[in-house]
Chain A
């Protein structure tokens, strides 16, 4: 046994570290289309102190460290591009505190979305958090670290905007508190009125530190959730529909989706509109407002509301389990998507591009746009499914996604959770002074370059 392995065992015990062929094989890949790369060790810490000791060891030995939640970003962000240690954070899964009146929760860095949802339902049924449509095993910390979105994003912004404090193990091994917990026992603000240091970690994809604790905003959980679906076959009208809907300032979430299969969906753009209320009167009032806002499109025969009586349960499910099913349409096992963050008026161009790419690369698409914070921008997902036993199809999906990212950058979008190649494309286009600032931050925080190397790395 080598010294590093023994040191890791000393830190986390024998059941907390593995260099067995099985774990090295599994943790070398994610469910997306990128090539795997093996780690040297997989380590599963249970405490912040263990994470600290692992990072200190990694610093001493110059070993890469790749923090991992459930690995469902699909863009290879947990693939250890330069080997080293994959840090499976999921054993750090305690819910440490809920401050009911201040409406925040404090959780450990490996806590899953599902477990927090269940905990709130049982103990604080009048509170909720913003649940993404990723599987319930995905971790809250990983989701905010890559600026994920969820069911409350239209109302309150990116899920990373909902962070209320962090405990970070820095790449040099110090444990650092960010926001109000750095001054006292309360986790109510990640920055204001201090300098907002959370920006040194959110969006950095694990290259500047490891989130070991996280404060997260909770929101009122209204007694009734409802959904309406507006359908139009004119992509060019979708931005205006978005605009009318966001003007209402009452909607939990708005998604526009289109896909060619099953046939009933082909050629239409489905706008799913979620809203909530505490009474039937409130719900009906909001429903009336939604219908009134879109009446002009009905009058002009450009669209109409679809009956959701039989699909309502599925639409209201959080997370929507059925979304994973897209992976099995080509029988199966996978899909991956590019998700540029862009302005809503570009919806028609992106919609056309998805269909063009699907045809060009002979792949199956499903696309969905989610409004962010009242329509200041949207996440537009360009998703392609593949058969994992068909390498040629996987290659075509990868090429289609590369072209989608290039297109998004040309259109002035910001790539969401970009893979390491898309990061390079982004850094080529980014303003030189911005890039220099990113470099300065990275070099100062991670002088040995051990944190998730290969990502946000200036070549």
Chain B
């Protein structure tokens, strides 16, 4: 079949059998594709998306707001890539979805919320349309200084810098780094967006601009090692920036803290709590960082770490990936990912959901409120939990 449009990985779209394994976790306990779970149409599942893309490439269906909504409802959680049975091409499923979004961007046919997100990044440098001068406000009282040749740059990202929940998380990480004697500095008002969501939403021109500016800035300042608050930033720095010439060592903060805990440079007092840990997609499936957050929690005396049924490679996304944190295409209905996830957390009997991503923190905090579970569940970043266990 001849296609009217081309995608880099367009040669695999006809190979999807739409068998549907991609919708599930490995034990089939529930649908594990957030957009299929929320919308309930086969068109919103990875297989449906593949078949629709094929029809769209061949001109059988046209670009429409609905087509765009279906494509942008993907939260890029990578569950499909891991559950698809076709090992010869499954790694490229997320690429096909991302490349389709690039085409939609090039055609100017993205949902209004996506358009507004790009515009905010272009005009304000952040999705909140807040002044650049306020980007470093969150650092106040943390003990971390401006970056000037310290061993690490601590990169907070847009959510950590501007969102209230994100700022709380960033502060706790920064304070803990300072307390542990880690040589780290921040860019403050000089920090700019990492572009991970810009790339996944398909605006490659803007992404390249952001990435190259960041790379140049980091190089100029002599940055060699970066600690990120946000797994989304980690993903961009670790997997995408090297293609543009970056040569930095990139760590997630949980990797640094886990290492310090192992070396006994961080110690905890007893903290009796039942905790369940939510794997962020960009830390877990995208970057295979599963152990460090668990090593930290397991090292805290009296903490009982209880896994949710879907965890690790099979974790259910909070719904905030793929830019949905900002575009909210999945919505907040009963079957929206965040609400499903906090109900799953509740089933474990835990009273704390530990998170390692500011986007997850915000999504799950909101979901706890929507589910009226505020008296039963608290959402806390790993460093926030660590802070509660420090001797005063």
Contacts and interface: CB of A to CB of B under 8 A. Distances in A.
A47 B360 CA distance: 33
The secondary structure that dominates the B interface is loop
B86 interface: yes
A25 B40 contact: no
A83 to B, nearest CB: 18
B19 interface: yes
Given A22-B52, A136-B28, A91 B17 contact: no
B24 interface: yes
Contact of A137 (B1, B19, B52): B19
Contact of B19 (A72, A112, A117, A122): A72
Interface string B14-49: 111111110110011110000000011111000010
Interface in A317-365: 321-322, 324-325, 327-328, 331-334
Interface stretch (A13-21, A181-189, A222-230, A395-403): A13-21
Contacts of A334: 17
A322 B60 contact: no
Nearest to A113: B28
Contacts of B89: 328
Contacts of A20: 64, 66
B61 A136 contact: no
A22 B70 contact: yes
A229 B19 CA distance: 27
Interface in A117-144: 117-119, 121-122, 135-138
Interface residues of B, number: 37
B392 interface: no
A114 B62 contact: no
Given A21-B64, A26-B42, A327 B17 contact: yes
A117 B26 CA distance: 12
Contacts of A71: 42
Contacts, number: 111
Given A23-B41, A135-B20, A333 B15 contact: yes
Given A118-B29, A389-B1, A324 B17 contact: yes
B152 interface: no
A324 B23 contact: no
B271 interface: no
B55 A325 contact: no
Given A88-B42, A117-B28, A389-B1, A22 B67 contact: yes
A91 B37 CA distance: 10
Contacts of B21: 135-137, 321, 324
A115 interface: yes
A23 B43 contact: yes
Contact of A25 (B14, B18, B28, B52): B52
B309 interface: yes
Given A115-B28, A324-B21, A22 B42 contact: no
Contacts of A121: 27
Interface in A212-233: none
A20 B14 CA distance: 22
A328 B67 contact: no
Contact of A26 (B15, B17, B23, B52): B52
A66 interface: no
Interface in B183-232: none
A339 to B, nearest CB: 17
B308 to A, nearest CB: 12
Contacts of B333: 15
Given A21-B64, A22-B70, A333 B14 contact: yes
Contacts of B61: 21-22, 25
Nearest to A116: B28
Contact of B17 (A44, A115, A328): A328
A31 interface: yes
A26 B333 CA distance: 24
Nearest to B66: A20
Nearest to B28: A114
A325 B16 contact: no
Contact of B20 (A25, A26, A136, A389): A136
Contact of B41 (A88, A324, A391): A88
Contacts of A322: 85
A72 B18 CA distance: 9
A53 interface: no
Name, among A15, A22, A72, the residue most crowded by chain B CB atoms within 10 Å (CB to CB). Answer: A22
A195 B30 CA distance: 37
A137 B39 contact: no
Nearest to A27: B42
A25 B55 contact: yes
A68 B20 CA distance: 14
A90 interface: yes
Contacts of A113: 28
Contacts of B48: 26
Contacts of A88: 40-42
Contact of B309 (A122, A137, A327, A328): A122
Contacts of A23: 41, 43
Contacts of B326: none
A388 B15 contact: yes
A42 B66 CA distance: 15
Given A135-B20, A328-B88, A26 B14 contact: no
B268 interface: no
Given A122-B29, A322-B85, A42 B20 contact: no
B17 A31 contact: yes
A70 interface: yes
B16 A21 contact: no
B66 A325 contact: no
Contacts of B64: 20-22
A322 B23 CA distance: 16
A26 B54 CA distance: 11
B39 A15 contact: yes
A411 B145 CA distance: 84
A268 interface: no
28 contacts: A18-B41, A20-B64, A21-B66, A25-B52, A26-B42, A26-B43, A26-B51, A31-B17, A31-B19, A44-B40, A90-B42, A115-B29, A118-B29, A122-B309, A135-B19, A135-B21, A136-B20, A321-B85, A324-B21, A325-B85, A327-B15, A328-B15, A331-B88, A332-B15, A333-B16, A334-B17, A388-B15, A389-B1
9 A-B pairs closest in CB distance: A114-B28, A137-B20, A118-B29, A327-B17, A135-B19, A388-B14, A332-B15, A389-B14, A20-B66
